[in-house]
Structure formats: structure tokens, C-alpha cells
């Protein structure tokens, strides 16, 4: 098995914003919340909420790039506003094709 195929899944529909600055407190709080485990070892869900245009998506995008190594099983970005099945099929198809690049750069 090649080193490339051993890399964890990283399927994210956004490129990292190289100009992202600040929000360290929010990133750390989100990470702390997602690293908690309950009695059966399932990670809790976390939500980023607020008015439109305040950077919720950018915060989530920065989080997945910054903390991706904390998830050795991989990261898959799914849009809760869309149907789940087609997204899961796309993750399976595209991640098998190329795990090295973010999903946003594959097409």
C-alpha cells in the first residue's frame, strides 16, 4: 500500500483562505467541543450559528484545515441543506480517485 493511499480522507469543498485572520478563541472553543467524548466514544456535534455574512462557513473551513490531524479517520464536508446520499456517493467516488487534493480542486 502506498503512502498516498494511507493518508486519511480529506474531502472539503472549499480551499483554505490564506487571508483568514483572528478568531482564535472561536476555533479553540470549537475544537474543545469536538474533542469531547461521551460514554460510548462518539464525538458530539457542534454548531456554528449567527446572522448571514459573519463568517460561519469561513470559520468551519479554517477549522477543518487547521485541525485535520486531530481526525485520523479523515474529514468529509457534507452540506446539511442538500440530500445526503448523493454527497456520500461523491465522497466515496472522489476520495478513492485522489485523496491528496481538496475536493474543490478536483473538478
Residue ranges per structural domain of the chain: 3-105
The string of pLDDT tens digits covering residues 56-83 is 899 999 999 999 999 888 888 888 889 9
Residue keyed to cell 477549522? 63
Ramachandran class of 63: left when φ > 0, alpha when ψ lies in -120 to 50, beta otherwise: alpha
Say what the pTM is: 0.74
Mean pLDDT confidence for 41-70: 84
- pLDDT for residue 28: 94
- pLDDT by residue (tens digit) across 23-38? 999 999 999 888 877 6
Using the Cα atoms of residue 79, residue 15, residue 57 and residue 74 in order, give the sign of their dihedral: positive
Looking at residue 85, the DSSP 8-state letter turns out to be: H
- The predicted pLDDT at position 36 comes to 78
In this predicted structure, the answer to whether residue 8 has a pLDDT above a threshold of 50 is: yes
Distance CA 83, CA 98 (A): 23
State the pLDDT confidence band at 97, using cuts at 50, 70 and 90: low
d(CA 62, CA 65): 5
pLDDT at 51: 87
Amino acid at each position: 500500500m502506498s503512502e498516498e493511499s494511507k493518508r486519511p480522507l480529506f474531502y472539503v469543498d472549499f480551499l483554505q483562505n490564506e487571508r483568514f485572520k483572528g478568531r482564535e478563541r472561536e476555533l479553540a472553543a470549537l475544537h474543545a467541543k469536538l474533542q469531547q467524548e461521551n460514554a460510548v466514544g462518539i464525538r458530539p456535534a457542534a454548531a456554528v450559528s449567527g446572522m448571514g455574512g459573519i463568517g460561519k462557513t469561513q470559520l468551519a473551513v479554517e477549522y477543518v484545515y487547521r485541525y485535520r490531524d486531530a481526525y485520523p479517520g479523515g474529514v468529509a464536508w457534507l452540506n446539511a441543506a442538500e440530500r445526503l446520499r448523493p454527497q456520500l456517493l461523491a465522497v466515496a467516488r472522489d476520495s478513492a480517485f485522489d485523496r491528496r487534493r481538496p475536493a474543490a480542486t478536483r473538478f
